[in-house]
Structure 1
Amino acid sequence: MTEAPVPHSSALPDLVLRDIVAAVDAVNSFDIGITLWVHGQVVSGDLIASHAYGQGVSGALRQRAAVIDNGAILESFTVLFDQRFPEPVPAQERTERPPEPEFLHLRQVSFLDADSKGTTLAFWRGALSSVDGWTLGRRAITADN
Protein backbone atom coordinates (compact mmCIF):
# COMPACT_ATOMS: atom_id res chain seq x y z
CA MET A 1 0.00 0.00 0.00
CA THR A 2 1.40 3.39 -1.02
CA GLU A 3 1.00 6.29 1.38
CA ALA A 4 -0.23 9.63 0.14
CA PRO A 5 2.41 12.36 0.10
CA VAL A 6 2.50 14.61 3.13
CA PRO A 7 1.76 18.24 2.21
CA HIS A 8 4.49 20.81 2.68
CA SER A 9 3.77 22.45 6.02
CA SER A 10 6.60 24.93 6.46
CA ALA A 11 5.57 28.42 7.52
CA LEU A 12 8.28 29.71 5.18
CA PRO A 13 7.42 30.36 1.54
CA ASP A 14 9.31 28.85 -1.39
CA LEU A 15 12.09 31.38 -2.04
CA VAL A 16 12.01 30.97 -5.83
CA LEU A 17 8.26 31.56 -5.89
CA ARG A 18 8.70 34.56 -3.59
CA ASP A 19 11.32 36.01 -5.96
CA ILE A 20 9.00 35.52 -8.96
CA VAL A 21 6.18 37.29 -7.10
CA ALA A 22 8.56 40.14 -6.15
CA ALA A 23 9.65 40.51 -9.79
CA VAL A 24 6.03 40.64 -11.01
CA ASP A 25 5.20 43.17 -8.28
CA ALA A 26 8.17 45.35 -9.30
CA VAL A 27 7.25 45.41 -12.99
CA ASN A 28 3.51 45.90 -12.29
CA SER A 29 2.43 45.50 -15.93
CA PHE A 30 3.42 41.86 -16.37
CA ASP A 31 1.49 38.65 -15.76
CA ILE A 32 2.39 34.99 -16.07
CA GLY A 33 0.32 31.82 -15.91
CA ILE A 34 0.89 29.76 -12.78
CA THR A 35 -0.62 26.69 -11.12
CA LEU A 36 -0.41 26.27 -7.35
CA TRP A 37 -1.17 23.46 -4.93
CA VAL A 38 -2.66 24.91 -1.76
CA HIS A 39 -3.81 22.53 0.99
CA GLY A 40 -4.91 19.85 -1.46
CA GLN A 41 -6.56 22.22 -3.92
CA VAL A 42 -5.28 23.19 -7.36
CA VAL A 43 -5.37 26.95 -7.96
CA SER A 44 -4.49 28.19 -11.44
CA GLY A 45 -4.49 31.66 -12.97
CA ASP A 46 -2.41 34.62 -14.05
CA LEU A 47 0.08 35.84 -11.45
CA ILE A 48 -0.27 39.63 -11.32
CA ALA A 49 1.27 42.47 -9.33
CA SER A 50 -0.36 43.39 -6.03
CA HIS A 51 -1.21 46.83 -7.44
CA ALA A 52 -2.98 45.23 -10.43
CA TYR A 53 -4.92 43.04 -8.00
CA GLY A 54 -5.97 46.08 -5.95
CA GLN A 55 -7.04 47.95 -9.08
CA GLY A 56 -8.99 44.95 -10.36
CA VAL A 57 -10.89 44.36 -7.13
CA SER A 58 -11.48 48.09 -6.66
CA GLY A 59 -12.81 48.38 -10.21
CA ALA A 60 -15.16 45.43 -9.72
CA LEU A 61 -16.46 46.99 -6.48
CA ARG A 62 -17.02 50.33 -8.22
CA GLN A 63 -19.01 48.64 -10.98
CA ARG A 64 -21.15 46.81 -8.44
CA ALA A 65 -21.62 49.98 -6.32
CA ALA A 66 -23.01 51.80 -9.34
CA VAL A 67 -25.93 49.36 -9.69
CA ILE A 68 -27.03 48.64 -6.11
CA ASP A 69 -29.02 50.74 -3.65
CA ASN A 70 -26.38 50.84 -0.92
CA GLY A 71 -23.42 51.51 -3.21
CA ALA A 72 -21.75 53.92 -0.79
CA ILE A 73 -20.65 51.00 1.39
CA LEU A 74 -18.93 49.27 -1.52
CA GLU A 75 -17.45 52.57 -2.65
CA SER A 76 -15.76 52.88 0.77
CA PHE A 77 -14.13 49.49 0.21
CA THR A 78 -12.59 50.77 -3.04
CA VAL A 79 -10.69 53.39 -1.02
CA LEU A 80 -9.29 50.59 1.15
CA PHE A 81 -8.03 48.67 -1.89
CA ASP A 82 -6.59 51.83 -3.44
CA GLN A 83 -4.67 52.56 -0.23
CA ARG A 84 -3.51 49.01 0.49
CA PHE A 85 -2.27 48.33 -3.04
CA PRO A 86 -0.49 51.51 -4.21
CA GLU A 87 1.38 51.74 -7.49
CA PRO A 88 4.97 50.59 -6.95
CA VAL A 89 7.77 53.15 -6.95
CA PRO A 90 9.93 52.73 -10.09
CA ALA A 91 13.28 51.05 -9.36
CA GLN A 92 15.29 54.12 -10.36
CA GLU A 93 13.34 56.27 -7.86
CA ARG A 94 13.53 53.87 -4.88
CA THR A 95 15.67 54.79 -1.92
CA GLU A 96 15.25 51.43 -0.21
CA ARG A 97 14.49 47.87 -1.15
CA PRO A 98 10.78 46.97 -1.10
CA PRO A 99 9.70 44.44 1.54
CA GLU A 100 9.61 40.78 0.53
CA PRO A 101 6.11 39.77 -0.58
CA GLU A 102 4.02 37.66 1.77
CA PHE A 103 1.07 37.20 -0.59
CA LEU A 104 0.57 36.40 -4.24
CA HIS A 105 -2.26 37.67 -6.44
CA LEU A 106 -3.98 35.90 -9.30
CA ARG A 107 -6.45 36.99 -11.98
CA GLN A 108 -8.84 34.74 -13.94
CA VAL A 109 -8.51 32.04 -11.30
CA SER A 110 -9.68 28.45 -11.52
CA PHE A 111 -9.86 26.07 -8.56
CA LEU A 112 -10.08 22.29 -8.50
CA ASP A 113 -10.76 20.76 -5.10
CA ALA A 114 -10.13 17.20 -3.91
CA ASP A 115 -13.57 16.14 -5.17
CA SER A 116 -12.68 17.38 -8.69
CA LYS A 117 -15.21 20.20 -8.55
CA GLY A 118 -14.13 23.27 -10.49
CA THR A 119 -14.80 26.90 -9.53
CA THR A 120 -13.68 30.15 -11.11
CA LEU A 121 -13.17 33.66 -9.73
CA ALA A 122 -11.97 36.94 -11.20
CA PHE A 123 -9.30 37.55 -8.52
CA TRP A 124 -7.62 35.66 -5.69
CA ARG A 125 -5.08 36.55 -2.98
CA GLY A 126 -3.19 33.87 -1.07
CA ALA A 127 -0.37 33.63 1.43
CA LEU A 128 2.93 32.48 -0.06
CA SER A 129 3.49 30.39 3.06
CA SER A 130 0.34 28.36 2.25
CA VAL A 131 1.57 27.17 -1.15
CA ASP A 132 2.57 23.50 -1.07
CA GLY A 133 3.85 23.39 -4.65
CA TRP A 134 3.70 25.29 -7.93
CA THR A 135 4.56 25.27 -11.62
CA LEU A 136 4.60 27.93 -14.27
CA GLY A 137 1.69 27.66 -16.72
CA ARG A 138 -2.05 27.54 -16.30
CA ARG A 139 -4.10 24.40 -15.80
CA ALA A 140 -7.40 24.48 -17.64
CA ILE A 141 -10.03 23.68 -15.02
CA THR A 142 -13.67 23.19 -15.91
CA ALA A 143 -16.74 22.08 -13.99
CA ASP A 144 -16.39 18.70 -15.76
CA ASN A 145 -12.86 17.97 -14.41
Structure 2
Amino acid sequence: MTPAEYQDHQPHEDSNLFAPDVHLADLVRVVNLSDDTRFPITLIVSGATISGHVVSGSRFFRGLKHASASDECTDTLAGLWDSAIALYSEAQNEEAVDPIVELERIGFIHLEDAVVHTGGTRSGLMFWRGRLESVDGWSVGALNTPS
Protein backbone atom coordinates (compact mmCIF):
# COMPACT_ATOMS: atom_id res chain seq x y z
CA MET A 1 0.00 0.00 0.00
CA THR A 2 1.43 3.36 -1.00
CA PRO A 3 1.37 6.42 1.30
CA ALA A 4 -1.24 8.01 -0.98
CA GLU A 5 -3.48 4.93 -0.73
CA TYR A 6 -3.07 4.96 3.05
CA GLN A 7 -4.07 8.63 3.27
CA ASP A 8 -7.21 7.88 1.24
CA HIS A 9 -8.14 4.95 3.51
CA GLN A 10 -11.32 5.32 5.50
CA PRO A 11 -11.66 3.38 8.80
CA HIS A 12 -13.70 0.21 8.63
CA GLU A 13 -17.17 0.90 10.07
CA ASP A 14 -16.96 -2.13 12.43
CA SER A 15 -13.59 -1.06 13.82
CA ASN A 16 -13.36 -1.29 17.60
CA LEU A 17 -9.92 0.33 17.56
CA PHE A 18 -11.12 3.89 17.75
CA ALA A 19 -10.72 4.81 21.32
CA PRO A 20 -10.71 8.49 22.16
CA ASP A 21 -7.57 9.14 20.06
CA VAL A 22 -7.75 8.17 16.39
CA HIS A 23 -4.34 9.74 15.74
CA LEU A 24 -2.58 7.29 18.05
CA ALA A 25 -4.47 4.45 16.37
CA ASP A 26 -3.33 5.69 12.95
CA LEU A 27 0.24 5.94 14.18
CA VAL A 28 0.15 2.34 15.46
CA ARG A 29 -1.30 1.08 12.17
CA VAL A 30 1.54 2.74 10.24
CA VAL A 31 4.15 1.18 12.55
CA ASN A 32 2.49 -2.22 12.21
CA LEU A 33 3.03 -2.13 8.45
CA SER A 34 6.82 -2.50 8.83
CA ASP A 35 9.17 -4.29 11.22
CA ASP A 36 11.81 -1.63 10.49
CA THR A 37 9.89 1.27 12.03
CA ARG A 38 10.69 2.15 15.65
CA PHE A 39 10.30 5.50 17.38
CA PRO A 40 10.09 6.91 20.92
CA ILE A 41 6.77 7.58 22.63
CA THR A 42 5.42 8.27 26.12
CA LEU A 43 1.96 7.05 27.14
CA ILE A 44 -0.26 7.80 30.11
CA VAL A 45 -2.27 4.70 31.07
CA SER A 46 -4.45 4.71 34.20
CA GLY A 47 -2.16 7.19 35.92
CA ALA A 48 1.08 5.40 35.02
CA THR A 49 3.60 6.91 32.60
CA ILE A 50 5.02 4.39 30.13
CA SER A 51 7.88 5.32 27.80
CA GLY A 52 9.53 3.24 25.14
CA HIS A 53 9.79 2.71 21.41
CA VAL A 54 6.68 1.82 19.41
CA VAL A 55 7.27 -1.26 17.23
CA SER A 56 5.13 -3.50 15.03
CA GLY A 57 3.25 -6.40 16.55
CA SER A 58 5.35 -8.91 14.61
CA ARG A 59 8.62 -7.32 15.82
CA PHE A 60 7.26 -7.31 19.39
CA PHE A 61 6.39 -11.03 19.33
CA ARG A 62 9.68 -11.94 17.61
CA GLY A 63 11.41 -10.17 20.50
CA LEU A 64 9.36 -12.12 23.04
CA LYS A 65 10.20 -15.37 21.26
CA HIS A 66 13.90 -14.54 21.34
CA ALA A 67 13.77 -13.40 25.00
CA SER A 68 11.98 -16.59 26.10
CA ALA A 69 14.32 -18.92 24.18
CA SER A 70 16.03 -19.97 27.41
CA ASP A 71 12.80 -20.61 29.35
CA GLU A 72 11.82 -24.13 30.38
CA CYS A 73 8.59 -23.90 28.36
CA THR A 74 10.37 -22.84 25.16
CA ASP A 75 8.36 -25.03 22.76
CA THR A 76 4.99 -24.04 24.21
CA LEU A 77 5.86 -20.35 24.26
CA ALA A 78 7.38 -20.48 20.78
CA GLY A 79 4.08 -21.83 19.43
CA LEU A 80 2.16 -18.97 21.06
CA TRP A 81 4.58 -16.36 19.77
CA ASP A 82 4.62 -17.90 16.26
CA SER A 83 0.82 -17.59 16.04
CA ALA A 84 0.95 -13.92 16.99
CA ILE A 85 3.85 -13.25 14.60
CA ALA A 86 1.85 -14.87 11.78
CA LEU A 87 -1.20 -12.68 12.53
CA TYR A 88 0.76 -9.43 12.30
CA SER A 89 2.96 -10.58 9.40
CA GLU A 90 -0.09 -11.56 7.36
CA ALA A 91 -1.52 -8.08 7.78
CA GLN A 92 1.78 -6.63 6.50
CA ASN A 93 1.52 -8.69 3.32
CA GLU A 94 0.51 -6.50 0.38
CA GLU A 95 -1.59 -9.38 -0.96
CA ALA A 96 -3.75 -9.47 2.16
CA VAL A 97 -7.41 -8.71 1.50
CA ASP A 98 -7.17 -5.34 3.26
CA PRO A 99 -4.13 -5.03 5.54
CA ILE A 100 -5.34 -1.79 7.13
CA VAL A 101 -8.68 -3.33 8.14
CA GLU A 102 -6.83 -6.34 9.59
CA LEU A 103 -4.60 -4.06 11.67
CA GLU A 104 -7.58 -2.01 12.88
CA ARG A 105 -9.03 -5.13 14.45
CA ILE A 106 -5.88 -5.82 16.47
CA GLY A 107 -6.20 -2.80 18.79
CA PHE A 108 -2.89 -2.96 20.72
CA ILE A 109 0.23 -0.83 20.97
CA HIS A 110 3.62 -2.54 21.37
CA LEU A 111 6.72 -1.03 22.96
CA GLU A 112 10.34 -2.15 23.15
CA ASP A 113 12.72 -0.88 25.84
CA ALA A 114 9.77 0.23 27.92
CA VAL A 115 10.02 2.03 31.25
CA VAL A 116 6.97 2.22 33.53
CA HIS A 117 6.82 5.13 35.97
CA THR A 118 4.25 4.76 38.77
CA GLY A 119 4.36 6.89 41.86
CA GLY A 120 8.01 7.07 42.87
CA THR A 121 9.03 3.83 41.17
CA ARG A 122 10.58 3.18 37.78
CA SER A 123 10.54 -0.31 36.25
CA GLY A 124 12.39 -1.17 33.07
CA LEU A 125 10.87 -3.77 30.78
CA MET A 126 12.15 -5.28 27.54
CA PHE A 127 8.64 -5.30 26.08
CA TRP A 128 5.23 -3.85 26.93
CA ARG A 129 1.85 -4.36 25.25
CA GLY A 130 -1.31 -2.41 26.00
CA ARG A 131 -4.80 -1.83 24.64
CA LEU A 132 -5.08 1.34 22.60
CA GLU A 133 -8.46 2.05 24.18
CA SER A 134 -6.75 2.21 27.61
CA VAL A 135 -4.34 5.01 26.67
CA ASP A 136 -5.37 8.29 28.29
CA GLY A 137 -2.71 10.47 26.66
CA TRP A 138 0.52 10.31 24.68
CA SER A 139 3.47 12.29 23.40
CA VAL A 140 6.21 11.62 20.89
CA GLY A 141 9.51 11.17 22.73
CA ALA A 142 10.53 8.86 25.53
CA LEU A 143 11.57 9.43 29.16
CA ASN A 144 14.77 7.74 30.32
CA THR A 145 14.69 4.72 28.02
CA PRO A 146 17.60 2.89 26.45
CA SER A 147 18.21 4.10 22.88
Is 1:107 the counterpart of 2:112? The answer is yes
1:87-102 counterparts in 2 under 5 A?
Answer: 87-90=89-92, 92-96=94-98, 97-100=101-104, 101-102=106-107
Q: Distance in 2 between matches of 1:99 and 1:52?
A: 14
- Residues 26 and 88, structure 1, Cα contact 8 Å, conserved in 2: no
TM-score normalized with structure 2 length: 0.76
Letter of the 2:77 counterpart: F
Query: What is the root-mean-square deviation in Å for CA atoms of aligned residues?
Result: 1.8
Out of 120, 126, 141, which is 1:122 matched to?
Answer: 126
Letter of the 1:126 counterpart: G
1:1-145 counterparts in 2 under 5 A?
Answer: 12-62=19-69, 64-65=70-71, 71=72, 73-86=73-86, 87-90=89-92, 92-96=94-98, 97-100=101-104, 101-113=106-118, 115-140=119-144
Map of 2:14 onto structure 1? none
- List alignment gaps of at least 5 residues for structure 1: 1-10, 66-70
Structure (1/2) with the larger helix percentage: 2
- Residues 48 and 107, structure 1, Cα contact 8 Å, conserved in 2: yes
- Give the number of aligned pairs: 123
- Residues 13 and 128, structure 1, Cα contact 8 Å, conserved in 2: no
- List alignment gaps of at least 5 residues for structure 2: 1-17
Letter of the 1:12 counterpart: A
C-alpha deviation, 1:139, in angstroms: 1.0
Q: Distance in 1 between matches of 2:20 and 2:107?
A: 8
Map of 2:11 onto structure 1? none
C-alpha deviation, 1:28, in angstroms: 2.1
Which protein is bigger by CA-based radius of gyration? Answer: 1
